Structure 1
Amino acid sequence: MSGINAITRRGFVAGSVALALPALARAQSGIVVRDLLGREIRLAKPAARVVLGQGRFLSMIGMVHPDPIALLAGWADDLNTTFPNEAEAWSSRFPSLKSLPVIGRRVGSDYAIEKLLMLQPDLVLISRFNAGPVESDGNTSFIRRLTQAGLKVAVVDFAQDPLKDTVPSLRILSQLLGQEARGEDTVSFYRTTLKRIIGSLGDPTAASTDLVFHSHAGVMPCCASIGRGSFADLAALVRGHSIAADVLPRAVGPINLEYMLTRQPDVYVATGGLKGDASRGISIGANVSETQARESLTRVVSDPGIAELNAVRSKRAYALWHGLNETPLHLVALEALAGWLNPGIKDAFDAPKTLAAFRKRFPLLPQDGVYTVALDPSV
Structure 2
Amino acid sequence: MTEHRPLLHAIVIALLLIASGRLPAFAGEEARQVQTPLTVTDIAGREVTVNVPARRLLLGEGRQLYLVASLAPEDPLSHIVAWRNDLIEADPATYAQYLDVFPDLAKLPVFKGQEESLIDIESAVIQKPDAVLLNLEAMRANEDAKYVEKLAAFDIPVLYVDFRHQPLENTEPTIRLLGKIMGREQRAEGIIAFRHKAMAQVTDVIAENKPEPPRVFIERIGGYSQDCCLSFGPENFGKYVELAGGHNIGSDLLPSTFGQLNQQLAKWFHPELFADLDPDATFAEYHRRFLPIDYRPGYAVSLSDDPS
TM-score bracket, normalised by the shorter chain, equals 0.7 to 0.9
| CA distance 1:36–1:364, shift in 2 (3 Å) | same
Structure 1 residue 171 displacement after superposition: 0.2
Indicate how the Cα distance of structure 1 residues 110 and 224 shifts in structure 2: closer, same or farther if over 3 A, else same: closer
CA distance in 2, matches of 1:134, 1:75: 17
Corresponding residue to 1:157 among 162, 180, 184: 162
Q: Secondary structure at the match of 2:64?
A: helix
Correspondence 1:247 to 2:267: no
Does the C-alpha gap of structure 1 residues 48 and 98 become closer, same or farther in structure 2, counting only changes over 3 Å?
A: same
Change (3 A) 1:81 1:207: same
Separation in 2 of the partners of 1:245 and 1:215? 14
How much has 1:107 moved relative to structure 2?
6.9
Aligned 8 A contact 1:131 1:142 in 2 = no
Alignment of 1:368-379 (within 5 A): 368-370=296-298, 374=302
- Please list every run of 5 or more consecutive structure 1 residues that lacks an aligned counterpart in the other structure: 1-27, 269-315, 317-339
1:184 deviation in Å?
Answer: 1.4
Flag the 1:142–1:112 CA change in 2: closer, same or farther, 3 A: same
2:292 counterpart (364, 367, 370)? 364
What per-residue deviation string (whole Å, max 9, x for no partner) do you get for residues 334-364 of structure 1?
xxxxxx3102212142111111111111231
Q: Where does residue 98 of structure 1 map in the other structure?
A: 106
Partner AA of 1:248 in structure 2: L
1:131 and 1:143 in contact (8 A); partners too: no
Deviation at 1:192, TM superposition (A): 2.0
Partner of 1:16: none
Among 66, 70, 73, the alignment partner of 1:63 is 70
Once residues 359 and 162 of structure 1 are traced to their aligned partners in structure 2, the CA distance between those partners, rounded to angstroms, is: 20
Shift of 1:368: 2.1
Partners of 1:140 and 1:198 in 2: how far apart? 42
Residue aligning to 2:175:
170
State the TM-score, normalizing by the size of structure 2: 0.79
1:147 aligned residue: 152
Q: Please point out which of 270, 279, 298 is paired with 1:351.
A: 279
2:32 match: none
Change (3 A) 1:372 1:134: farther
Identify the match of residue 238 of structure 1 among 237, 244, 258: 244
| Post-superposition offset of 1:149 | 3.4
Show structure 2 runs of 5+ residues with no match.
Answer: 1-34
Instruction: State the Cα distance separating 1:201 from its structure 2 match.
Output: 2.5
Matched length = 271
Secondary structure of the residue aligned to 1:187 is helix
User: 1:100-119 residue pairs with structure 2 within 5 A?
Assistant: 100-106=108-114, 112-119=120-127
- Residues in 2 aligned to 1:374 and 1:355: alpha-carbon distance in whole angstroms: 20
Query: 8 Å contact 1:128–1:157 — kept in the other structure?
Result: yes
Cα-to-partner distance string for 1:41-97 (whole Å, 9 max, x where unaligned): 223331111111111001101122242111111111111122222212211221101
Contact 2:81 2:109 in 1 (8 A): yes
Question: Which amino acid in 2 is paired with 1:37?
Answer: A
Q: CA 1:373–1:161 in structure 2 vs 1: closer, same or farther (change >3 Å)?
A: farther
Amino acid at match of 1:349: L
How far does residue 161 in structure 1 lie from its aligned partner after superposition?
1.4
Amino acid at match of 2:76: P
Would you say the 8 A contact 1:351–1:372 is kept in 2? no
User: Aligned AA for 1:96?
Assistant: D
* Structure-1 separation of matches of 2:226 and 2:150: 34
Q: Percent identity among equivalent residues?
A: 28
The alignment status of 1:130 with 2:168, answered yes or no, reads no
Residues 183-332 of structure 1 mapped to structure 2, 5 A cutoff: 183-203=188-208, 205-218=210-223, 219-257=225-263, 260=264, 265=265, 268=266, 316=267
Which of 26, 36, 49 lines up with 2:43 in the alignment? 36
Report the Cα offset of residue 206 of structure 1: 3.0
SS in 2 for 1:253: strand
> Structure 1 residues 147, 30: CA separation in 2 closer, same or farther (over 3 Å shift)?
closer
Rg bigger for which structure? 2
Structure 1 residue 378 displacement after superposition: 7.0
- Paired residue for 2:269? 341
How far residue 116 of structure 1 moved from its aligned partner, in angstroms, is 0.3
Distance between the aligned counterparts of 1:36 and 1:228, measured in 2? 19
Contact 1:235 1:241 in 2 (8 A): yes
Letter in 2 for 1:232: G
CA contact (8 A) 1:31 1:44 kept: yes
Q: Which has the higher contact order (CA 8 A, sep 6+)?
A: 1
